[in-house]
């Protein structure tokens, strides 16, 4: 079972850092004042880091907050991804052309 404390410890160990080094790295990159004691309490599950601390950890170690929390976000189907990137400044005619092209691509599967 995933836990926040386990995820934080894994990030630290994957980076071969002591609790003090972990705190120092986040502090240096994010301008915070995390202590070794705070890291110890997070890893033992005594307390949980505040949202801004989790954000700082995620940014420092290039991981997602979803990953730290153990959330699995389903991938969007490709068509939804494409649709999300269509600019609002397309004309109706341009959108219609895009729809026709999609239909053409689908028809080539058969």
Query: Which domains does the chain show, CATH number per domain?
Result: 4-69 (1.10.260.40), 78-107 (no CATH)
Distance of CA 32 to the CA centre of its chain: 20
Report the pLDDT averaged over residues 68-83.
67
- CB count within 10 Å of CB 7 equals 19
pTM of the full predicted structure? Answer: 0.64
Confidence of residue 33 (pLDDT cuts 50, 70, 90): very high
What kind and span of H or E run contains 91? none
- In the predicted structure, residue 15 carries a pLDDT above the cut 70: yes
- What's the sign of the alpha-carbon dihedral 88, 89, 92, 95? negative
- In the predicted structure, residue 54 carries a pLDDT above the cut 80: yes
* DSSP per residue, 14-49: HTT--HHHHHHHHHHHH-----HHHHHHHHHTSS--
Which of helix, strand or coil describes residue 87? coil
- In the predicted structure, residue 108 carries a pLDDT above the cut 90: no
The pLDDT value given to residue 71: 81
The pLDDT value given to residue 75: 61
Report the pLDDT averaged over residues 66-84.
69
């Amino acid at each position: 079972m995933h836990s926040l404390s386990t995820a934080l410890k894994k990030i630290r160990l994957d980076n071969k850092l002591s609790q003090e080094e972990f705190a120092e790295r986040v502090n240096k990159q994010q301008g915070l004042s995390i202590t070794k004691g705070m890291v110890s309490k997070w890893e033992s599950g005594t307390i949980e880091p505040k949202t801004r601390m989790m954000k700082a950890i995620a940014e420092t170690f290039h991981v997602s907050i979803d990953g730290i929390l153990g959330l699995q976000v389903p991938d969007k189907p490709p068509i939804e991804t494409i649709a999300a990137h269509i600019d609002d400044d397309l004309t109706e005619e341009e959108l219609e052309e895009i729809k026709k092209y999609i239909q053409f691509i689908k028809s080539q599967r058969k």
